[in-house]
Structure 1
Amino acid sequence: MKIRNLLIVPVAAIFMLSGCTGNITASSEDIMSYVLETDNKLETYMGEGELKIFTNDELTEDVSFKEYAGTDGKRKFVSVDKLRDKKSYTLNDGKQVLMYEEGSNQAQSIDLAGIDLPSNLTQKEQLTRMLESLQDHYTYEVVGEEKLLGKNTYHLKVKAKSKNSLLGDMEFWVDQKTWFLVKSNSISGDIRSEVTYTSLDDSPSFDSNTFTLDLPEDVEIKALNTEYPTHSGTLAEAVEALGHPFLVFQDSEEKIDKVEWNIYEGELNRTEVTVYYTEQDIPSSTLSIFEIPKGEGAKIKGNVTVRGMKGEYMEDLRVLTWDEGKLRYSIMIDHPDITKEEIIKKVDKMELSSGRES
Structure 2
Amino acid sequence: MKFLKTASLVLAASVALGACSEGDVSNFSPEQVIENALEQTEKAPSYYGEATMDMGDVKLTLKEWTDGKNRRAEVSSDEGEAITVFKDGVMTTYDKTNNKVITMDTGDTMGNLPSPQETAENILHVIKDTHDVKMVGEEKVAGRATYHIQAIEKKETLFGNQDFWVDKETWVILKAESQMGDAVSKTVYTKFDTKPKLAADTFELAIPKDATVEVIDADANEVDLTEAEAKALYPELRTAKGVEVASISKMDGLKGEPEITFEYQQDGHDFVSVSLFKDTLTEEETKLEKGEEQVEVLGEQATYEKIGDFQLLNFAKDGLRYSIMPTGDGITKEQLIDFANKLEK
Please classify the TM superposition score into its range, dividing by the shorter chain length. Answer: 0.7 to 0.9
Is the CA contact 2:15–2:116 (under 8 Å) kept in the aligned structure 1?
Answer: no
Q: Give the deviation of 1:244 after TM superposition.
A: 4.4
CA separation of 1:67/1:114 partners in 2, compared to 1, >3 Å: closer, same or farther?
closer
Question: C-alpha distance in 2, partners of 1:226/1:153?
Answer: 39
SS of equivalent to 1:303 = strand
Secondary structure, counterpart of 1:159 in structure 2? strand
Per the alignment, residue 50 of structure 1 pairs with: 52
What TM-score comes out, normalization by structure 1 length?
0.80
Aligned to 2:320: 327
Match of 2:75 in 1: 79
For residues 215 and 142 of structure 1, do their structure 2 counterparts lie closer, same or farther at Cα, with a shift above 3 Å needed?
A: same
Aligned with residue 106 of structure 1, among 90, 94, 100: 100
2:238 to 236, 243, 247: 247
Q: Distance in 1 between matches of 2:16 and 2:47?
A: 20
Over the aligned positions, Cα root-mean-square deviation in angstroms equals 3.1
TM-score (norm 2): 0.83
For 1:209 and 1:108, the matched residues in 2 are separated by 19
Cα distance in structure 1, aligned partners of 2:230 and 2:120: 38
**Alignment match of 1:306 (pick from 297, 302, 305):** 297
How far does residue 272 in structure 1 lie from its aligned partner after superposition? 1.2
Q: Which residue of 2 aligns with 1:96?
A: 90
Q: 1:28 aligns with which of 14, 30, 40?
A: 30
> Structure 2: how far apart are the matches of 1:290 and 1:199?
45
Q: Distance in 2 between matches of 1:43 and 1:299?
A: 41
Q: Which structure 2 residues correspond to residues 144-223 of structure 1 after superposition, within 5 A?
A: 144-163=137-156, 165-223=157-215
Cα displacement (A) at 1:262:
0.8
Match of 1:70 among 55, 67, 81: 67
Q: Within 2, Cα distance between the matches of 1:38 and 1:263?
A: 37
Residues 1:160 and 1:256: Cα distance change in structure 2 (over 3 Å) = farther
User: Does the Cα contact within 8 Å between 1:9 and 1:172 map onto a contact in 2?
Assistant: no
Deviation per residue, 1:38-60 (Å, 9 max, x gap):
58956111111111112xxxxx1
Q: Identify the match of residue 285 of structure 1 among 258, 267, 272.
A: 272
**Using the alignment, how far apart are the partners of 2:328 and 2:336 within structure 1?**
11
Residue 246 of structure 2 corresponds to which residue in structure 1? 257
CA deviation after TM superposition for structure 1 residue 92, in Å = 0.5
Q: How many residues of Structure 1 are paired with residues of Structure 2 in the alignment?
A: 327
Q: Is the 8 A contact 2:316 2:322 kept in 1?
A: yes
Partner in structure 2 of residue 271 of structure 1: 258
Please give the alpha-carbon distance, in whole angstroms, between the structure 2 residues aligned to 1:223 and 1:139. 44
User: Are 1:285 and 1:333, in contact at CA under 8 Å, matched by a contact in 2?
Assistant: yes
CA distance in 1, matches of 2:28, 2:218: 50
Deviations 1:275-298 (A, max 9, x none): 111112211111111122434541
Distance change >3 Å, CA 126–CA 42, structure 1 → 2: same
1:306 and 1:158 map into 2 onto residues whose CA distance is 34
- What letter matches 1:274 in structure 2? T
CA contact (8 A) 1:137 1:315 kept: no
Report the alpha carbon displacement of residue 69 of structure 1 after superposing the two structures with TM. 1.0
What's the offset of the Cα at 1:142? 2.3
Look up the SS of the partner of 2:129 in the other structure: coil
Q: Is the 8 A contact 1:300 1:311 kept in 2?
A: no
State the shift of 1:167 in Å: 2.5
Comparing 322-331 with 103-112, which one deviates more in the overlay? Answer: 103-112
Deviations 1:137-183 (A, max 9, x none): 344332222111111111122334442x2333222111011111111
**Cα distance in 1 for residues equivalent to 2:204 and 2:265:** 43
Give per-residue Cα distances to partners, 1:178-211, cap 9 Å, x unaligned. 1111111122345332111111221111112211
Runs of 4+ displaced beyond 6 Å: 10-14
CA–CA separation in structure 2 for the residues paired with 1:112 and 1:289: 25
Distance 1:38 1:226 in 2: 30
Question: Match for residue 340 of structure 1?
Answer: 333
1:232 aligns with 2:219: no
1:318 Cα deviation after fit: 0.8
